[in-house]
Structure 1
C-alpha cells in the first residue's frame, strides 16, 4: 500500500469529490491513467473501494474473478489470482500489478516458477498476461525453461552392473534421440510419421513395433499413437514458432544381467494456434511423458545391437481434448464450446513435477488444469 496520508483536519471538506476519487480508482484498477494518487483519508478510500466491489457488473470480464471454468486435459480452468485480491486501493503503479502480477513476479527469484499459490492462477489464455503469436510462452512457468533438444541433459555415464560405461552412454544417448524424435521433430508435431523414433526401437521386441505402426496406420481408442508420439492435426492447428519448452530428468540403473535401464520423465509445452488463415489465438498444449527403456546385450538377450526396448511408457496430456481422435492431440482454445464429455477428474497443475506421473494418471478421468 502506498497511498499518501491525508493532510485534511477533522471537519474539513475533502480535497476532491467522491466522483473524482472514484474515477481515479477505476483508472488505477484498469491500469490506465498516470500521476499521483489524490490525498484522501484511508477510511474514505475503503468506502469507495467497497462501493466499486459492489458494482461487480461494471468490472471488465475476468478482471476480478477470471473467466469461467472450461474442460481440461481439456481446457484450462481459470481461478482467481492473488492480484485481484489487492482491490483498487493501490496507486497506479501497483494497480497494474494487481491486474498483471507477472510484471513483478517475473523479476522475483524463481520468475515464472513461483508456486501456484503465490502467483496469478488465472489461465493466461484469455487475459492480458496470456500468450500471443509474438510471445507464446508469456504467462507460463515454461517461459523460463530451456528449449528443444538442448533441454534434455544426459547424466554422466558410469558402468553399472555388468554393463560398461560405453554401454550406459549409448543407452542414454539413444533415449535422448528417441525423446527428440518422438516429441520435438517438427514434421512429427505437424502430424507426420515418426520414422526416426521408430527406427530407434528394437524390431526383435515382440509386438512393440507392430503395435506402434498399427496405431499410426489405424488409430483407435486402444491403439493411439499419441501414447508415444506428440502429433497435432495440421488441418486443425499449426505451431506458433519453432520453440518447444522442455523440463525433466533422466536417470539410469542396472537392469537384469546384461541390461541397463533408463528412466526419462519429461514435460513438453507446445504453443499452437488454429490452422485457419488469420488465426491469432494462442493455446499451449502440455504433455508429460515417462519412459523406461532398456538397452540389452545381444550376446545375452534376444536384442538388436544399439536398439532400445520399451519396458513401460505413460503419458498425461493437459489443455487438450479428452478424446484424441484420429491419432492426434487436439488443443483446447478458450472459445471452444463445451463438449459432450465434461471433465470428471480432479484439478491438476500440469507444471507440477513433484507428483509421480502414476498418481497424476490414477483413475484416468478427464479433469481440469489450474494453469497452462
Structure 2
C-alpha cells in the first residue's frame, strides 16, 4: 500500500511541476508581442500575438464563419495565409484539399499569430457586424425544435440575403465554462432589419442548442454576428424546387418570405421531410404561401409516420419523393437545406431529373 501511495505522490508531483512549467512558458516564453496582419494587401492590423488567427480577427471585429466555434471540427474558417502561418498542422489536414495547400489556404482557428502575417479573406466579410439583441419570442415548434425572434437593441440594422446565416453566441452557463458560437440560418424576411428569426433544433450534448433550449428565455440578452454564406435566392426566372428537413426549414422560409414581399412570380415546389406528423411545423404558414404566392406547392413527406397519424400524404424520404413526383423539365433551380447524406441523395435524384449542377444550390448542415 505504501508503494502505491508513493507512486501516486510522485506522479502527482510530476504533473503539478509540468503544469507549472507550461504556465510559466505561456507567460514568459510565448510572449510574442505586437504583430502585424496585412489583409488583402490594403488593410493593416497591429495585434497582440499568441492567440489563434480566428480569435484575433474576431477581436478586431472581423468575423470569419466558424460553425464549430473555433474548435477545429468544421473546416469553415478557411482563409488564405500567404506568409507567417508556419507549416500545415496535423489538425488541419483532414479539412484541407491538396489544392487548398498549394494555394496557402489554412484553418484560421488552428494557426496562431506568432509573427507578422499576410492573409486574404473575401471582401464581403468586412460587411459582417456584431449585434446585441434581446429574445422577443421563444416558443416550441415541436418537442425538439424552437423558434426564436431576436430583436436588435444596439441601434444597428441587419441587411442580408434570403438564405444566409448568422452566428449566435452562447455565454458560459452551468455545465459549459466557455463562450461558444454556432451557425444558424436566418428564417425571417429581409425587409425586417430590426430583428431576425431563427429555428433551432435540440441536439443532445450540443453546447449552444442546450443553451437555447434549456437556459435562454424571453427577455434575455443575446449577441450574434453576420450575415454569412453564399446560399441565397438567385436573381432569375427559373422554376424552383426547394428541399429541406427539420430545421432546414429556416432558409427556405426566408426565401419564401422574400418572394412574397417582392411579388416574385416563379413557379415553386417545396418538399419538406420529417419523421412523423408531430415533427411537422409552420403548416399554417405553408398554407398561406400556397394561397398568396404566384404558383407554390408545399409537399410534406414523412419517413416514419405513426399509426395514430392517419397519414395520407407521401411516405418515405425526401429524395424518394423527388424521384416519384418530379417530371423532367428544363429551366429549373434547386435550393436544398439539410444534412450531408440528404443533400447528396437529393442532388443525385435531381441530376437524374435533368437538373444541372450549376443550378443546384445548397446549405449543408454538419
TM-score, with length taken from structure 1: 0.25
Which protein, 1 or 2, shows the higher relative CO under an 8 Å CA cutoff with sep ≥ 6?
A: 1
TM-score, with length taken from structure 2: 0.26
